[in-house]
């Protein structure tokens, strides 16, 4: 029997709780007229998150994960001219906030097993930046790429050796663990995202996990326009309007009731992909290390395809300029003159994306390394080429709560169909 999807199979879409608890809390916000930033839902959501993260760390709910990165940098004392070490293989929200402060990102390459920050390159970069600039970088930002934990032991050991604070970008790693400890609680700050495509959602929003209670006070101050303690508005620092709305937090409270179920589902989907793809020649699902310390949430399931695997329509790719953004509701894109760049996925990867789209399956390329982005041309980079090589052969597969077992079977069948024998 041939399975036909009812509609587009997206990588990861928000999924409400079965009994619509989200609606209950949102309705309460309207009924009590708390339709503003802050409020009872925000307080309760922060308490829920604090419990989820072990009860020892403080949590500040914010308008976006990007805002959380920005405020964490402020909390670490990053100023104009400072350098911040950040993983290159990531989404731009990990590095852009560094530039908001006039600071400079220094990009660190990946290790081949996890695809995350390479500890060897990290220490090399620290020593080289000290030698070149005469001072230490101000912070380190490792990333839980697609939910995969980085080597927390080695990263934290190096950070502690040089007394450099760590800002964990766990935006994609909600609920992922390393050696039984939840990501976001290893460093001074942990960044969370609740965008509509994350493990849980508040439609838009994020949060910052704070190691120290005094850091929470600082972050809250910056997030509410940095107002000083006077009966009128006086400001001794530049602040931001970054707090989460009471409406969004209501959604988040409901989402926390299904957080564990969502994580379990993503792990199940990953296991099914591993089983169904194991005999597909030339296609390799990315697995977490066999080391029992690693416990990924598999926010997205990722894979690579060998360069010599021929895909239907491969000879026609990169011939025309893309007119619309790739990847769901990606927003406005800037028109370009060329269909190609000097760093792009192989032709068979792009052909697979196009083929899968024709079968109502969203299969995106993996993140393009930040040090290969035009906006960061000339930024200091310490790489062994791993992330560039993965970008050429890697792609993402649907894994969200709406992705059923039948969907996974259909997706794998279409991958097989796309391969030219």
Query: No. of H helices and E strands in the chain?
Result: 12, 14
Do 149 and 269 have their domain in common?
no
When pLDDT is cut at 50, 70 and 90, the band that residue 354 belongs to is very high
CA distance 145 to 154: 17
The answer to which of 105-109, 196-200, 386-390 has the lowest mean pLDDT is 196-200
pLDDT over 80 (residue 341): yes
Task: Show which of 255, 285, 315 is a domain's final residue.
Answer: 255
Q: Is residue 50 part of a domain?
A: yes
- pLDDT of amino acid 408: 98
Average pLDDT taken over every residue of the chain: 95
Do 183 and 322 have their domain in common?
no
- pLDDT of amino acid 260: 97
Q: Is residue 222 part of a domain?
A: yes
Do 132 and 239 have their domain in common?
yes
Strands 167-169 and 206-210: unpaired
Q: Is residue 356 part of a domain?
A: yes
The answer to which of 183-187, 315-319, 326-330, 332-336 has the lowest mean pLDDT is 326-330
CA distances from 163 to 66, 136, 137, 181 (A): 25, 9, 10, 22
Q: Are 104 and 83 in contact (CB under 8 A)?
A: yes
Do 155 and 268 have their domain in common?
no
What are the pLDDT digits (tens) for 195-216?
Answer: 999 999 999 999 999 999 999 9
Task: Show which of 255, 274, 295 is a domain's final residue.
Answer: 255
As given in the structure block, the two tokens for residue 228 are 């000083």
pLDDT over 80 (residue 327): no
If one counts the domains in the chain, the total is: 2
pLDDT over 90 (residue 416): yes
What are the pLDDT digits (tens) for 223-241?
Answer: 999 999 999 999 999 999 9
When pLDDT is cut at 50, 70 and 90, the band that residue 330 belongs to is low
Q: Which residues contact 305 (CB under 8 A, 6 or more apart)?
A: 282, 283, 284, 311, 346, 348, 349, 352, 393, 395
- pLDDT of amino acid 325: 66
The answer to which of 18-32, 203-217, 294-308, 340-354 has the lowest mean pLDDT is 18-32
Q: Is residue 94 part of a domain?
A: yes
pLDDT over 80 (residue 331): no
Do 315 and 211 have their domain in common?
no
Q: If you average pLDDT over residues 25-38, what whole number do you get?
A: 91
Partners of 140 in the beta sheet?
Answer: 85, 166
Do 233 and 281 have their domain in common?
no
- pLDDT of amino acid 421: 79
Q: Are 11 and 400 in contact (CB under 8 A)?
A: yes
For residue 89, what are the domain limits? 21-255
When pLDDT is cut at 50, 70 and 90, the band that residue 257 belongs to is very high
Task: Show which of 210, 225, 255 is a domain's final residue.
Answer: 255
- pLDDT of amino acid 2: 63
Do 224 and 97 have their domain in common?
yes
Do 224 and 107 have their domain in common?
yes
Tell me if the pTM is above 0.75: yes
When pLDDT is cut at 50, 70 and 90, the band that residue 24 belongs to is very high
The answer to which of 3-12, 56-65, 242-251 has the lowest mean pLDDT is 3-12
- pLDDT of amino acid 16: 85
As given in the structure block, the two tokens for residue 45 are 């959501």
Do 277 and 206 have their domain in common?
no
> Which domain CATH number covers 303?
3.90.1150.10
Q: Is residue 4 part of a domain?
A: no
Q: Is residue 190 part of a domain?
A: yes
**At 189, is the secondary structure helix, strand, or coil?**
strand
Q: Is residue 396 part of a domain?
A: yes
pLDDT over 80 (residue 324): no
When pLDDT is cut at 50, 70 and 90, the band that residue 1 belongs to is low
Do 243 and 155 have their domain in common?
yes
CA-based nearest residue to 184, from 301, 303, 297, 34: 297
Do 289 and 408 have their domain in common?
yes
- pLDDT of amino acid 151: 98
Q: Is residue 14 part of a domain?
A: no
> Which domain CATH number covers 91?
3.40.640.10
pLDDT over 70 (residue 329): no
Q: If you average pLDDT over residues 291-308, what whole number do you get?
A: 98
- pLDDT of amino acid 420: 96
Do 369 and 249 have their domain in common?
no
When pLDDT is cut at 50, 70 and 90, the band that residue 272 belongs to is very high
């Amino acid at each position: 029997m041939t399975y036909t999807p009812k509609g587009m199979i997206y990588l990861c879409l928000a999924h409400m709780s079965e009994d619509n608890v989200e609606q209950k809390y949102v309705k309460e916000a309207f009924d009590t007229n708390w339709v503003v930033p802050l409020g009872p839902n925000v307080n309760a959501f922060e308490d829920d998150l604090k419990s989820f993260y072990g009860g020892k760390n403080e949590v500040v709910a914010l308008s976006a994960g990007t805002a959380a990165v920005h405020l964490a940098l402020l909390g670490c004392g990053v100023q104009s001219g400072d350098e911040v070490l950040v993983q290159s293989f990531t989404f731009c929200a990990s590095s852009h906030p560094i530039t908001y402060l006039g600071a400079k990102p220094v990009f660190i390459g990946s290790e081949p097993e996890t695809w995350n920050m390479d500890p060897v390159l990290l220490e090399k970069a620290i020593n080289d930046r000290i030698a070149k600039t005469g001072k230490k970088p101000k912070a380190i930002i490792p990333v839980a790429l697609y939910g995969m934990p980085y080597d927390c032991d080695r990263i934290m050991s190096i950070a502690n050796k040089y007394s450099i604070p760590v800002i964990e970008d766990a935006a994609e790693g909600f609920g992922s663990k390393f050696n039984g400890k939840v990501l976001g609680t290893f460093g001074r700050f942990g960044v969370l995202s609740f965008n509509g495509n994350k493990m849980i959602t508040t439609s838009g929003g994020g949060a910052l996990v704070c190691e120290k209670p005094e850091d929470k006070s600082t972050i809250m101050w910056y997030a509410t326009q940095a107002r000083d303690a006077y009966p009128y508005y006086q400001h001794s620092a530049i602040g931001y309007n970054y707090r989460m709305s009471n409406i969004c937090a209501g959604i988040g409270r409901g989402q926390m009731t299904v957080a564990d179920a969502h994580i379990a589902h993503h792990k199940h989907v990953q296991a099914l992909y591993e089983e169904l793809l194991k005999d597909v020649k030339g296609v390799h699902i990315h697995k977490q290390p066999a080391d029992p310390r690693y416990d990924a949430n598999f926010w997205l399931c990722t894979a690579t395809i060998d360069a010599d695997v021929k895909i239907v329509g491969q000879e026609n790719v990169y011939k025309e300029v893309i007119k619309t953004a790739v990847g769901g509701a990606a927003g406005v894109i800037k028109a370009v003159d060329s269909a190609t760049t000097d760093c792009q996925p192989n032709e068979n990867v792009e052909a697979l994306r196009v083929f899968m789209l024709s079968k109502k399956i969203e299969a995106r390329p993996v993140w393009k390394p930040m040090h290969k982005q035009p906006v960061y041309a000339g930024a200091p980079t310490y790489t062994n080429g791993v992330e560039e090589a993965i970008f050429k052969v890697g792609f993402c597969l649907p894994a969200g709560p709406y992705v059923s077992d039948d969907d996974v079977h259909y997706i794998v069948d279409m991958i097989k169909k796309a391969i030219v024998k």
